[in-house]
């Protein structure tokens, strides 16, 4: 069985879309793959209760618990890794997980760590992507699913969706349209990965 762990920090709408797609498209029987756990760095993440209601394992590794450590980011990542590895995951999916991960963590899950980013990478890596796209005068924006590397918001691109930037757009209205596409392309990209797992070893 290909176990999939999803990491969230907030409402988890991309996680919800992934779980819904996994059930609708019957990943378990068709691909021997299942989303088995949702883990958050935020104990107040609203997505946790939804995931729990779906019968998924939910856990919290609060990054604030490690702030007193000499190297808080590394200490948090090590604890998170221990939590994830219990599930022996084939893939770890970042779904609005608002933490910059250490190179050691990324290397541990090489070719298994997947992210979705709300821009057409390599454009607008980092935060505030929609506002930056509008300010730059872009005619198009979008979302990118990619494998995670040590360099922030880089790595091989697995899927992209393009959304027009309208003259009337605010960053909020653009973000809402992009998010709709995120929900579609993330599950499609993951489904392609689990259909041919041998190609990802």
What burial class does residue 49 get, using C-beta atoms within 10 Å of its C-beta: 0-12 exposed, 13-18 middle, 19+ buried? exposed
Q: Calculate the CA 80 to chain-centre distance.
A: 15
- The residue length of the chain stands at 201
Q: Which CATH superfamily is domain 2-200 in?
A: Formyl transferase, N-terminal domain (3.40.50.170)
Which one-letter DSSP state was computed for residue 101? Answer: P
pLDDT in tens, 17-67: 999 999 999 999 999 999 999 999 999 999 999 999 999 999 999 999 999
* Active-site annotation, residues: 117
What is the CA 163 to chain-centroid distance, rounded? 20
Distance CA 157, CA 172 (A): 25
pTM of the model: 0.94
Over residues 152-176, the pLDDT tens digits come to 888 999 999 999 999 999 999 999 9
pLDDT at 201: 40
- Of the chain, the percentage scoring pLDDT greater than 70 comes to 98
Domain edges within the chain:
2-200
pLDDT of residue 184: 97
pLDDT (average), residues 75-80: 98
Quick: pLDDT tens for 82-137. Answer: 999 999 999 999 999 999 999 999 999 999 999 999 999 999 999 999 999 999 99
Other beta carbons within 10 angstroms of residue 48's beta carbon come to: 22
Instruction: Identify each DSSP E strand in the chain by its residue range.
Output: 2-8, 33-40, 57-60, 89-94, 113-117, 140-147, 157-164
Cα–Cα distance for residue pair 173/29, rounded to 1 Å: 38
Is the model's pLDDT at 197 over the cut of 60? no
pLDDT confidence of residue 152: 86
**Tokens of residue 187, six digits:** 């599950």
């Amino acid at each position: 069985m290909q176990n999939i762990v999803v990491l969230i920090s907030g409402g988890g709408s991309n996680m919800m879309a992934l779980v819904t797609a996994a059930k609708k498209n019957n990943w378990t029987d068709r691909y021997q793959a299942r989303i088995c756990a949702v883990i958050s760095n935020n104990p107040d993440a609203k997505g946790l209760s939804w995931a729990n209601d779906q019968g998924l394992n939910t856990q919290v590794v609060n990054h604030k618990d490690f702030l007193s450590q000499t190297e808080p980011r590394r200490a948090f990542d090590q604890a998170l890794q221990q939590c994830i590895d219990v599930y022996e995951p084939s893939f770890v999916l970042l779904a609005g997980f608002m933490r910059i991960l250490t190179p050691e963590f990324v290397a541990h899950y090489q070719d298994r760590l997947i992210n979705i980013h709300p821009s057409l990478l390599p454009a607008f890596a980092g935060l505030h992507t929609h506002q930056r796209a509008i300010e730059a005068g872009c005619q198009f924006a979008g979302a990118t699913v990619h494998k995670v590397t040590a360099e922030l918001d880089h790595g091989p691109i697995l899927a992209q969706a393009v959304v027009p930037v309208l003259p009337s757009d605010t960053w909020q209205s653009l973000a809402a349209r992009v998010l709709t596409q995120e929900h579609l392309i993330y599950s499609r990209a993951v489904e392609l990965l689990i259909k041919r797992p041998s190609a990802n070893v």
